[in-house]
Structure 1
Amino acid sequence: MAIVTISSQIGSGRTEIARPLAEELGYAYVDKEAIFAAAEGYGWLRRSLDKMDERRVGFWERSEAERRHYLILVEAILTDFARQDRVVIVGRGGNIILRGIRHALRVKLYAPFPVRVRRVAEREGISQEKARELVAKSDRERAGYIRYVFDHDWMDPDQYDLLLDTEHLPPPVAVEAIARLARSPSFQPRPSSVEAIEDLALASKIKALLVMDGRVQTSWLEVRVERGEVLLSGLVETEYERGLTEEIVRGVEGVKKVENSIGFKLLGTGL
């Protein structure tokens, strides 16, 4: 079955659509809580991830290293969920992370601004003015999160397979439409796409484990996986780091072979 990612604007009906869709398909529902729980398996405390959440005011002030580590961890978690198949992944740039996976159905829910303001006002029991401020703030923060973390435009239609304007679309109808497409032949896994998600998940896991290990500077490292065979490239400062990187990677479950093409940086030059 297809992997489904749901991206949405506030007030576009995500709550009424995404979870019922998972129930309709018999899929696991992967939201922020599921991602945070999985992150603890990599040694990240919940409070550390919560600080990096897209709605936190200080997110944009985080260092480049923190941004990169956050991205690596989210990629590892989402691809691990995706490789298990039969999942609905909500938010966190899932549509971008899985853009090269043939059986990933990437859905965007949206609605006109005034419609979303009305819905949020009714749902939260607040004034239209307060709802307008809340919706505008959410749009800025979600767009900023995707731009900063992934360097993509949140509203770029090319990032999605299906865009649904929910203004006149009742949630049950939206659920039915997405489920029908998820069950269609176009989005069924094939051997090549299953292999692609397995390789992506393994590469992402390796990068996350290297980051969390902390003994190797990973900023200049590249990890590629093809059919379980790992190619390490990029630069480190010492022979010890080069050997340690290979040792860590060889210990990762699923790795069949390691080709170590890591070179050395010239100390003091940044190269």
Structure 2
Amino acid sequence: MAIITISRELAAMGDETAHELAKLLNYRFVDKLSLEERIKSYGVADRKFEKYDERKPSLFASLSQDRDDYLHYLKTAIFAEAGSGNCVFIGRGAGAVFRNIPGVLSVFLVAPGEIRNERVKSYFHCDDRRARQIIEQSDQNRVGFHRYFFDIDWRSPDNYHLTLNTGYLSPAACAELIKNLLEKLISEEIEIQNLRKLRELILSQRVVHHILYEKEIPIHFLESSSSENAVTLYGVASSQALVEAAVSSAREVPPVADVRSEIQVVQEYSVMP
């Protein structure tokens, strides 16, 4: 199994390239709409998270519980989509979510400023000044989104296997280049590693969801890692009783066989609701 993530500047032909690639490889295409539908299937209104969608949250939003809920459900939806088989993700931080995971190919699409400007003018039917404003705002939002939620530099080539310039390459040409690189980098052995790691990520996410959203145990900054059905919990709790409740709840999630706690106890710890 393989996963391709595509990050893109505004007006760098991201959706067009992702569609071409998915069609060429016969992979599933996963975009904003796909993830929103998946999140809604969990009983969450997508309107609740609009203020976080590929943008840096405001100061107030960054301090709210909605911020943590957004990242939790976004990762849950991304893992669920990936678990359904070979797929191409466009945007939504998927490249950062799957960073350093075997069997994942990350691509960044760019285009020269003047070409982006002309494309935005054509799409939005606006003048040069307005087009530049739209591009600048989009770039700021995407830089802030990736820095805030994933602590990475969105534009850094270190985060990608391949960067392509759609000012000179068509979506079809980009799709062919990505396909060729995929065939050279992703072996059958790596695909098996990818599937194993994805199962671990999904299990870890299910454990977090069960503790926080089903059992409603207040463990702050809760994270989980898993290996061969053994789970380790990380976070901050205000009492040892809450730690024990979290460990007990984690054991309820199949196929968890063993639970280890690295949760720190800090008396009277609290965060803004």
TM-score (norm 2): 0.87
Equivalent residues in 2 for 1:89-108 (5 A)? 89-108=89-108
With over 3 angstroms needed to count, the CA separation of the structure-2 counterparts of 1:240 and 1:225, relative to structure 1, is: same
Match of 1:61 in 2: 60
- Amino acid corresponding to residue 164 of structure 2 in structure 1: L
User: In structure 2, how many angstroms separate the alpha carbons of the residues matched to 1:263 and 1:161?
Assistant: 35
Q: Using a 3 Å threshold, how does the CA distance of structure 1 residues 105 and 187 change in structure 2: closer, same or farther?
A: farther
CA–CA separation in structure 2 for the residues paired with 1:14 and 1:192: 28
Deviation at 1:16, TM superposition (A): 1.6
Residue equivalent to 1:173: 173
Name whichever of 238-247 and 168-177 sits farther off: 238-247
Instruction: Name the structure 2 match of 1:201.
Output: 202
Change (3 A) 1:42 1:234: same
Cα distance per residue 1:212-241 (max 9 Å; x no partner): 236211215341200222123444334553
Q: Secondary structure at the match of 2:153?
A: coil
Equivalence for 1:49:
49
Tell whether the 8 Å contact from 2:61 to 2:67 is kept in structure 1 after alignment. yes
Residues 20-169 of structure 1: matches in 2 within 5 Å?
20-55=20-55, 59-64=58-63, 65-169=65-169
Taking a change above 3 Å as real, the CA distance of residues 228 and 158 of structure 1, as seen in their structure-2 partners, is same
For residues 68-92 of structure 1, give each alpha carbon's deviation from its aligned partner in whole angstroms, at most 9, with x where no partner exists. 3322222222122223331111111
For structure 1, the residue ranges without an aligned partner over 5 or more in a row are none
Contact 2:49 2:66 in 1 (8 A): no
1:4 aligned to 2:26? no
Q: Secondary structure at the match of 2:41?
A: helix
CA contact (8 A) 2:48 2:66 kept: no
| Aligned-residue offset at 1:168 | 0.8
Tell me, in whole angstroms, the C-alpha distance in 2 between the residues paired with 1:237 and 1:63. Answer: 22
For residues 133 and 264 of structure 2, the distance between their equivalents in structure 1, rounded to whole angstroms, comes to 51
Pick which of 174-183 and 232-241 moved more: 232-241
Q: CA deviation at 1:252?
A: 2.7
Secondary structure class of the residue paired with 1:252: coil
Q: In the alignment, does 2:192 pair up with 1:191? A: yes
Residue in structure 2 matched with residue 210 of structure 1 by the alignment: 211
TM-score normalised per structure 1: 0.88
Residues 106-133 of structure 1 show CA distances to partners (whole Å, capped at 9, x for unaligned) of 0100011111011111222222222111
Q: Which residue identity lines up with residue 246 of structure 1 in the other structure?
A: V
Counterparts of 2:267 and 2:240, CA distance in 1 = 13
CA contact (8 A) 1:13 1:109 kept: yes
The one-letter code of the counterpart of 2:21 is: L
Name the amino acid aligned to 2:70.
Y
Q: SS at the partner of 1:102?
A: coil
Shift of 1:269: 6.3
1:230 paired residue number: 231
2:220 match: 219
Kindly tell me: are residues 86 and 49 of structure 1, through their superposed partners in 2, closer, same or farther at Cα, counting changes over 3 Å? Answer: same
Q: 2 CA distance for matches of 1:66 and 1:138?
A: 22
**Rounded Cα–Cα distance in structure 1 between residues aligned with 2:39 and 2:135:** 29
Aligned residue type for 1:75:
K
1:108 touches 1:160 (CA, 8 Å); kept in 2? yes
For 1:183 and 1:46, locate their aligned partners in 2 and report how far apart those are by CA, in whole Å. 36
Moved more, 25-34 or 200-209: 200-209
Percent of residue pairs bearing the same amino acid type: 28
Contact conserved, 2:147 with 2:154, CA < 8 A, in 1? Answer: yes
Using the TM superposition, give the Cα deviation of residue 158 of structure 1 relative to its aligned residue in structure 2, in angstroms.
0.6
Q: Relative to 1, partners in 2 of residues 1:45 and 1:194: Cα closer, same or farther, differing over 3 Å?
A: same
The answer to whether the 8 A contact 1:67-1:149 is kept is no
Aligned mates of 2:263, 2:92 — CA distance in 1: 33
Does the CA contact (< 8 Å) of 1:111 and 1:165 recur in 2? yes
Would the alpha carbon gap of residues 138 and 234 (structure 1) be closer, same or farther in structure 2, given more than 3 Å must change? Answer: closer
Deviation by residue 1:30-87 (Cα, 9 ceiling, x = unmatched): 11111111112333212112232235x8645313343233222222221222233311
